[in-house]
A and B are shown apart, each in its own frame.
Chain A
Amino acid sequence: MKLRGLLPLFGVAAKIVYLTQWRKTMTSPDWDVPSPLSRLGLEDADGIPEGGFGAVAAPAGVGKTALLVQLALHAMLKDEPVLHVSLQDPVQKIGLWYRELFQNLAGHEGLPRAGQVWERILPNRFIMSFQVEGFTVPRLEERISDLTAQNIFHPRLMIVDGLRFQPEIAPTLKDLKRYAEKQGLRVWFTVHVHRRDTDAHGLGPNELNELLGMFAVILKLDTVGDEIKIRVEKGFPGGEAPAALSLDPTSLLLRAS
């Protein structure tokens, strides 16, 4: 077959990719699960642009990690590589979070062939665990470049779990912001809020409020009786969310309330 157009420039290695086939491979053949946050009216999947920050703030044990793992699972189902950086738990434990929530999701929605789908989406996740004192942005950059340089993993969404939001966090966040913008990464953080600060707005203590500008979306988890409610602190385009969301306290799955 004689090659026409630009293809000869690429030599024999070039392959014609037909658009119809391309579409077929790119759209997830498995499950059509809507974004867990779409009910909140956030744009796109999670409402933050490339290079943007999002945060989930709550006291300990309310479900910050569970919420972010669900965002991550959703991204993985769309074949979007997710890098989960944890500063508190070992790799195995985080792996269990994913497995558990995936099984809950599959069971809850009655989705077929869960085992096969899990096998398919697993390569879309990479977990890095750091000791709190050993975590610096240059170190993280070095680790990620280990992965990207060898073409092992190219993250699009990053979850940073367990970073301590204290007033001296500002330089670290600025470094991360610079890196995220350069790489076009979307970054979600968990923010530990003390129970005494739960009524405060923003990220908790007032000293952190100057950092608010860095975040496109801030969600807050509140326990109301037996329920865990999700409140949009910042980022909802219309000011007030059209529907309320909550976390099911037993399965820790998102549901409309």
Chain B
Amino acid sequence: MKNDQQKVRNIGISAHIDSGKTTLTERILYYTDRIHAIHEVKGKDGVGATMDSMELERERGITIASAATYCRWRDHEINIIDTPGHVDFTIEVERSLRVLDGAVLVLCAVGGVQSQSITVDQQMKRYRVPCLAFINKCDRNGASPERVIDQLRSKLGHRAVPLQMPIGLEADFQGVVDLVSMKALYFEGDKGERVVEEAIPAALMEQAKGLREALIDAASLHSDELTEAILEGVDLPEEVLIEAIRRATLARQLTPVLMGSAYKNRGVQPLLDAITRYLPCPADIQNEALDTAHEERPVVLTSKGTDPALALAFKLEDGPYGQLTYIRVYQGVIAKGQTLINARSGRKFKIGRVVRMHSEQMEDIEAIEAGYIGALFGIECASGDTFIAPGLSLTMTSMFVPEPVISLSIMPQDNKSQVGMSKALSRFTKEDPTFKTFVDAETGETIIEGMGELHLDVYVERMRREYGCDVTTGQPRVAYRETITQRADFNYTHKKQTGGAGQFGRIAGYLEPLEDADFEFVNAIVGGAIPTQFIPACEKGFRSCLAKGPRMEFPVTGIRVVIDDGASHAVDSSDMAFQAAARGAFREGYLRARPVIKEPIMKVVVETPTEFQGSVMGLLNQRRGMILGAQDEGPQCVIEAQTPLAEMFGFSTVLRSATQGKAQFTMEFAHYRQVPQGLAEKIAEEMAAKKKRAA
């Protein structure tokens, strides 16, 4: 690998489902000579697009795991992470954004800014990723790049400025006018591989001039040189304008908008030019790590090749030759034969093979330098781990991992499947921090947990295909929680005198609801009623009660425990005794504090043609949904609602049949809310029945 960081771009391509990002990536790889034939996502040739490497993705036409690949364009190296478009796989999107320096937000010229684009945009904001927008599908009926640009401004709050304007639209879409060079670009050849520059058609000249004016105006806020050139009235050099746009884009003050149709092979090469011109190189971005030796103080990384190495494992994949670990190097060089330390486990390991990935094919290389993305072979680790050179005490910031909201029991059909299943589960849990698994101690069932129905569905399907194990699944179960609704006092004495050393501990205080956190322990004891050395034991005792609520056995959240009195015995008091006393005190107070069940509420966004608005609202209402609002957007409307997850199973089928398949919806976890009384009783009955069965 050459070491010229200025010429490296680590970018992601993010968008809503079906905006055509995989098709776009496929075209990019074709024009950069990485592949020699184009295959469509749902292609008739049965090959599928190159980036959709998993069989399942090909079948469903969606991208699930983000494959990393690299390509070259005009002496720049571009590493592309293709990201999934479904909210259920958001952790993948977040993980990709963490290692990216810039992103391309692909939008559909017909659908515009859709719900998933909003989620992805929020994530980009969180990681301060500069981005370009590409309005795809300009050849489709109803395409309106202008409307999409308006939505970028109004819905996402971007200062979106077009760098191009379309020549013709819908079936008549021929090419684009480049507003920076003021040339018309046409794409000729079978695969649109020849970009032909011509003069702007006279009919579009006026409009193009107006748009260029607006572009210069927006960019001039970030460049004194450009402002001076405008004031002096001299001819504006192209480089000055490009530099001004680049600076504004890096500061996230401006979002350049390009357009085209990937499927029709139009507008992709100018997008590649824009990626190299306006998106940042690794040196433009300041990356921070946490110093574990100094209370996790943030440390700025240097991105110099000579400094000690530091890399982040952002994705794992199980290949035919063992585990493949995708890494991004932030500092130093990672080379074959080098010894590194896994910051999480403290374990030392030696690097065997270093490769550069192109979707499923790979290329052996000697080393990966700072700013680059590559992959290692045979490293035992989990995704999100940091690798450091000996002597460093840094870790990359931990990523926000949401708690799972849905669970499913799975049962292998035979012995062979049992082996495959355990292999698959250990792999999946390493790959995806939102996917969890455990064995239910009471029923003996293996339970998998995740972020939604489709999320778990995909893993069960992968078990069947990749590990050849047949599993039967139970009914999806919702992750309920318990909490209390009022303050209740406790005063509990734990006393035992059955021969040998006795046990004694008394704890008094109260429990009360807590709104913003899961648990808080407050020690309000004055005068040493409970000796200080036993206070941690008290806390431990209370904490141990949280995993299973005394009433319904769901995890307990939102509770504050305050202890203000107690008693101890000089001989009989011990950590054990106070832990037992705390457990007793919790049970005593909890049942008096009016415990209730809480259920996960999902934020559901349905996009539907206006004529089905009424029936969609009816559907949501039947599912105990609370409709927050409806937004009219011409022929389409967007309905936002909060609906309990328990009611959302099979919603996609119902929605399809109610709207002739014209509506689509996305769903993500919002918060927990109290279950209505009638339903809580039903859940309690079910739990009791389950317990009886298990016994």
Contacts and interface: CB of A to CB of B under 8 A. Distances in A.
A127 interface: yes
A151 B618 CA distance: 9
A143 B613 contact: yes
A95 B613 contact: no
Interface string A136-152: 00010001001101111
Contact of B630 (A125, A129, A149): A129
Interface in A95-136: 95, 113-116, 119, 122-123, 125-131, 134
A130 B154 CA distance: 13
B690 interface: no
B88 interface: no
B634 to A, nearest CB: 6
B629 A129 contact: yes
A115 B483 CA distance: 14
A130 B634 CA distance: 9
Nearest to B613: A146
30 contacts: A90-B154, A90-B631, A91-B628, A91-B629, A91-B631, A91-B638, A92-B640, A95-B629, A114-B515, A125-B628, A126-B627, A126-B628, A126-B629, A127-B629, A128-B630, A129-B629, A129-B630, A129-B631, A131-B632, A131-B633, A131-B634, A134-B632, A143-B613, A143-B632, A146-B614, A149-B614, A150-B617, A151-B621, A152-B617, A152-B621
B618 A150 contact: yes
Instruction: Name the residue in B155, B621, B632, B673 with the highest tally of chain A Cβ atoms < 10 Å from its Cβ.
Output: B632
Interface in B336-382: none
Given A91-B630, A123-B626, A151-B621, 19 more contacts: A90-B154, A90-B631, A91-B629, A95-B629, A113-B513, A115-B515, A127-B629, A127-B630, A128-B631, A131-B632, A134-B632, A143-B613, A143-B630, A149-B614, A150-B617, A150-B618, A150-B621, A152-B627, A153-B627
Contacts of A95: 628-629
B574 interface: no
B674 interface: yes
Contact of A130 (B621, B627, B632): B632
Interface in A168-186: none
A62 interface: no
A153 B628 CA distance: 11
Contacts of A94: 629
Contacts of B155: 90
A90 B154 CA distance: 8
B640 A91 contact: yes
Contacts of A143: 613, 630, 632
Interface in B511-543: 513, 515
Instruction: Name the residue in A113, A114, A147 with the highest tally of chain B Cβ atoms < 10 Å from its Cβ.
Output: A147
A127 B614 contact: no
A154 B444 CA distance: 49
Interface in B606-632: 613-614, 617-618, 621, 626-632
A151 B621 CA distance: 9
Nearest to B635: A134
A147 B639 CA distance: 13
Contacts of B618: 150, 152
Contacts of A91: 628-631, 638, 640
Contacts of B613: 143, 146
Contacts of B632: 128-131, 134, 139, 143
B673 A147 contact: no
B515 A127 contact: no
Interface residues of B, number: 23
Contacts of A128: 629-632
Nearest to B516: A115
Interface residues of A, number: 30
Contacts of A127: 628-630
Contacts of B515: 113-115
Interface of B: 154-155, 485, 513, 515, 613-614, 617-618, 621, 626-634, 638, 640, 673-674
A94 B621 CA distance: 21
A154 to B, nearest CB: 13
B153 to A, nearest CB: 12
A158 B332 CA distance: 62
Contacts of A130: 632
A129 B485 CA distance: 36
Interface in A153-198: 153
A10 B69 CA distance: 71
A212 to B, nearest CB: 30
Contacts of B154: 90
Nearest to B622: A150
Nearest to B514: A115
A74 B550 CA distance: 38
A153 B630 CA distance: 13
A150 B628 contact: no
A151 B613 CA distance: 15
Nearest to A128: B630
Interface in A216-239: none
A147 B614 CA distance: 7
Nearest to A92: B640
A81 to B, nearest CB: 12
Contacts of A147: 617
A127 to B, nearest CB: 3
Nearest to A120: B674
Contacts of A150: 614, 617-618, 621
A146 B640 CA distance: 15
Interface in A6-57: none
Given A90-B155, A92-B640, A150-B617, A122 B630 contact: no
A134 B629 CA distance: 17
A32 to B, nearest CB: 20
Contacts of A125: 628
A103 to B, nearest CB: 12
A34 B513 CA distance: 27
Contacts of A153: 627
A62 B632 CA distance: 27
A146 B621 CA distance: 12
Nearest to A147: B617
Nearest to A95: B628
A146 B154 CA distance: 27
A125 B640 CA distance: 13
A201 B339 CA distance: 79
Contacts of A114: 515
Contacts of B629: 84, 91, 94-95, 126-129
Contacts of B485: 116
B98 to A, nearest CB: 25
Contacts of B674: 119
Nearest to B639: A91
Contacts of B630: 91, 127-129, 143
A107 to B, nearest CB: 13
A87 to B, nearest CB: 10
B355 to A, nearest CB: 43
A3 B559 CA distance: 46
B163 to A, nearest CB: 26
A122 B617 contact: no
A131 B630 CA distance: 12
Contacts of B614: 146, 149-150
3 tightest A-B CB contacts, nearest first: A127-B629, A91-B629, A146-B614
Nearest to A94: B629
Instruction: Name the residue in B618, B628, B638 with the highest tally of chain A Cβ atoms < 10 Å from its Cβ.
Output: B628
B23 to A, nearest CB: 29
B481 to A, nearest CB: 14
B617 to A, nearest CB: 6
A46 B114 CA distance: 38
